[in-house]
């Protein structure tokens, strides 16, 4: 044995002579009952870190006793505590810093394709930058191929928290919880259990305010281009439309409701169908801004002017809506603020703080621009 440093004691399960666990301990002449001196284990030697088991062996006590002394807990006799503290001081033992998660968070998308996603990234980055946290961006892709590997990679990375725009399965949520990785769902597309934290928007109120605006302008044949019925926000916006129509005493006619993809092409095809009918609508409320831009294309293809012949309202208030001609009247969904709120909540959960409430909905507001006017007749 090298008397300057001692040698590692490699057996597992304990020392047969003492019954104490000694895995990872570094022993010197204490193995034979002899005294331990500074010469045998010099303080500050970086090649021989002092372990709790070494302190226990040197002081002639158990590892739990040393742990109690280090952590300031009771249950240790005064003379025993003094002996352990003397050994701790002799070898300059320092309590290791607790292992923590990486200083990063993760933002998860199903598919990052439109400006809608960029607004969310901007909101997440604002908070992460302010709190000096890195952001890992994950995209499953249109076929969701990456989802099979994502959860394993994320569990290995152990991020401080997750903001997920993608909708996770119950199994995936359980896996994250089991590893202590908190998550917040952004704008959920389906009903969630009560204990799943989320940040969304007042979609029903937004749909109602958009339709009321058209009613107040004098429109009576108001069509709505909705999104897939299985998406929660689409159903809420449609229900808001229905509420405003019924509140104004107007019938919700089935031929004025079209459901399609939340894309510009979907909006174009739906609007082309609506505008080709003998009794075409005088106004169209689209479930999102991309659909509304498709309505613009269909109206121009049909030789109709916006808003002189057709009023159009969108939903989301993406930056492009202020740049099209005419500028689009739309329901402002505070995407950046929603993303900031989701990030603040996720990081707070990552610090071990308790969420004041499981769900948070930020208010939508109607932004009136130049795409709406009274009907032509």
Does the pTM surpass 0.85? The reply is no
Residues 6+ away with beta carbon under 8 Å from 241: 207, 208, 210, 211, 222, 224, 252, 285
Three-state DSSP class for residue 235: helix
- What pLDDT is attached to residue 71? 72
State pLDDT tens for residues 153-182. 888 888 999 999 988 888 888 888 888 899
Both 244 and 287 in one domain: the answer is yes
Asked if residue 323 and residue 228 are part of one domain, the reply reads yes
Produce one character per residue of 221-235: b if its CB has 16 or more CB atoms within 10 Å, e if not. Answer: bbbbbbbeeebbbbb
Query: What is the extent of the structural domain holding 42?
Result: 7-91
Low-confidence ranges of the chain (pLDDT < 70): 1-49, 94-102, 142-149
Name the DSSP class of 30: G
Are 355 and 330 found together in one domain? no
pLDDT in tens, 305-359: 999 999 999 999 999 999 999 999 999 999 999 999 999 999 999 988 887 777 8
**One domain, residues 183 and 219:** no
Would you state the pLDDT for residue 24? Answer: 32
Where among 296, 319, 334 does a domain terminate? 334
- pLDDT score of 14: 36
- The enclosing domain of 76 has a CATH number of 1.10.260.40
Residue 372 within a domain: no
Q: Compute the mean pLDDT over every residue in the chain, rounded to the nearest whole number.
A: 83
Q: Which two tokens stand for residue 70?
A: 């280090």
**Predicted local confidence at residue 138, as pLDDT:** 87
pLDDT of residue 16: 33
CATH number for position 245: 3.40.50.2300
Residue 97: predicted pLDDT: 52
Has residue 367 been placed in a domain?
Answer: no
């Amino acid at each position: 044995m090298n008397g300057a440093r001692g040698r590692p004691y490699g057996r597992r399960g304990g020392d047969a002579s003492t019954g104490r666990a000694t895995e990872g301990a570094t022993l010197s002449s204490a193995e034979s009952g002899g005294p331990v001196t500074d010469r045998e284990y010099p303080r500050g030697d970086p090649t021989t870190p002092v372990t709790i088991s070494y302190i226990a062996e040197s002081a002639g006590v158990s590892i739990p006793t040393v742990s109690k002394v280090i952590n300031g807990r009771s249950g240790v006799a005064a003379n025993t505590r003094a002996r352990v503290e003397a050994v701790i001081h002799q070898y300059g033992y320092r309590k290791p810093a607790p292992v923590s998660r990486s200083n990063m968070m993760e933002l998860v998308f199903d598919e990052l394709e439109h400006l809608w996603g960029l607004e969310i990234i901007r909101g997440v980055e604002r908070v992460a930058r302010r709190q000096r946290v890195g952001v890992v961006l994950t995209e499953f892709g249109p076929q969701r191929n990456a989802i099979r590997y994502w959860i394993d990679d994320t569990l290995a990375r152990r991020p401080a928290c997750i903001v997920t725009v993608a909708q996770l399965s119950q199994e995936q949520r359980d896996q994250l919880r089991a590893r202590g990785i908190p998550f917040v769902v952004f704008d959920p597309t389906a009903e969630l259990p009560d204990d799943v934290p989320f940040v969304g928007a007042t979609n029903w109120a937004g749909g109602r305010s958009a339709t009321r605006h058209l009613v107040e302008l004098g429109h009576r044949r108001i069509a709505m281009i909705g999104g897939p019925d299985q998406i929660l926000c689409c159903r809420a916006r449609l229900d808001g439309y229905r509420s405003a129509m019924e509140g104004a005493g107007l019938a919700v006619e089935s031929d004025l409701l079209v459901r399609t993809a939340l894309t510009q092409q979907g909006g174009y095809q739906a609007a082309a169908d609506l505008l080709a009918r003998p009794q075409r609508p005088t106004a169209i409320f689209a479930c999102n801004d991309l659909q509304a831009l498709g309505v613009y294309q269909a109206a121009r293809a049909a030789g109709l002017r916006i808003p002189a012949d057709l009023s159009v309202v969108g939903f989301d208030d993406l930056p492009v809506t202020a740049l099209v001609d005419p500028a689009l009247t739309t329901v402002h969904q505070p995407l950046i603020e929603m993303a900031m709120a989701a990030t603040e909540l996720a990081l707070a959960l990552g610090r071990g703080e308790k969420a004041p409430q499981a769900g948070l909905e930020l208010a939508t507001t109607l932004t009136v621009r130049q795409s709406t006017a009274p009907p032509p007749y």
